[in-house]
Structure 1
C-alpha cells in the first residue's frame, strides 16, 4: 500500500467477500458517480501491518461508513477500525453513518444476538481493555441513527 496522500473523503469499513460483491461494490460505485472518493479494502489489505495507514485514512476522512453485517464482529481488524472511527467521532466530530446489514442496531449496541456470538471468540486472545474499547465502539455506533437493511439479496 502506497503512502496515503489524503485523497479519501469517506472510509468504508466492512467484513466479507460476500458483502463486498453485492452491497459494498454498489455503494462504492454510487459514491464515485457522485464525485465522492471513498476508500474500501478491495484487495484484502486489512492486515495488522497495514493498520497505521488505515488509521491515517480513517482520521483524515470526513465520513466513516461501517457496514455491520452478521460476521462483522468476528473481525479484529474491523473492530480496531471501528474503535478508531469512534475515537475520531468523539474527539474531532467525524461523521459516522452506520449501515446495519441484516443485523439489528440494538444487537450492535448491546452486543447481543449474532454480535454476541461473533464476539465470544475474542475473549480468549485479547486483554480486557481491548475488549472494553471494542464493546464501547459497538455500543456507540449501535446508538447512532443509521440505515437498516434487512433481507438484502444482491
Structure 2
C-alpha cells in the first residue's frame, strides 16, 4: 500500500467527527521502527498527511496510556502493521483491540478506516490466533 492509497482513504472519509490526525499506525517498534515504519512516516510527511507518532521512549505495558487512546480515537485512518512478532506484544494487542472497538463505534458511517498491512508475514499466519 502506498501513500497515495492512504491519501485517498483520508480524503474520501468525510464526516462530522473531529479528527486530530489523518493516520495512526500500530506496529511492533522493535520489528520495524527504524526500517519500514521510518520510511512510511517519511512518505506520509512528504505527502502532507498528518499522523500520530510516538517516541522510542514510550513505556510499554498492559494499559494504553491516555495520549495513545486519544490518538487512536481521533485518527481517521488506522494502519495496523502485522509483523511476525506483533502478537507477542500486549501493548500492540491492546492498541489493536482499541482500534477495532473505535472502528466499531465510528465505523464507515463516520469515515473511520482500518487498513491492515502484512509486513514479511502472510495473512494466513495471523488469522484465527488464540491464546
TM-score (norm 2): 0.73
Render the CA deviation track for 1:37-79: whole Å, top value 9, x for unaligned.
1112232314346522201110010000111101101110100
Cα deviation, residue 18, structure 1: 4.2
Kindly report the root-mean-square deviation, in angstroms, between the aligned alpha carbons of the 2 structures.
1.9
The answer for the alignment partner of 1:34 in structure 2 is 47
Gaps in structure 2 of 5+ consecutive residues: 1-18
Change (3 A) 1:21 1:79: same
**Change in CA separation of 1:16 and 1:43 when aligned onto 2, cut-off 3 Å:** closer
Cα contact 1:65–1:98 (8 A) shared by 2:
yes
Determine the structure 1 residue equivalent to 2:67: 53
TM-score under structure 1 length normalisation = 0.63
Task: Tell whether 2:90 aligns with 1:72.
Answer: no
Higher relative contact order (CA 8 A, sep 6+): 2
Instruction: Tell me the equivalent position of 1:25.
Output: 38
Counterparts of 1:23 and 1:52, CA distance in 2: 26
Q: State the distance in 1 between where 2:98 and 2:26 align.
A: 11
Q: Within the alignment, does 1:107 sit opposite 2:128 as a pair?
A: no
Partner SS, residue 44 of structure 1:
coil
User: What CA deviation, in whole Å up to 9, does each residue of 1:1-58 have, x standing for no partner?
Assistant: xxxxx64221011113341111000000101111111112232314346522201110
Alpha-carbon distance between aligned partners in 2 of 1:96 and 1:86, rounded to the nearest angstrom: 8
The gaps in structure 1 that reach 5 residues or longer are 1-5, 117-122, 124-154
Residue 98 in structure 1 maps to residue 116 in structure 2: yes
Identify the structure with the greater helix proportion: 1
Give matches, 1:135-150, under 5 Å. Answer: none
Paired residues, what number? 108
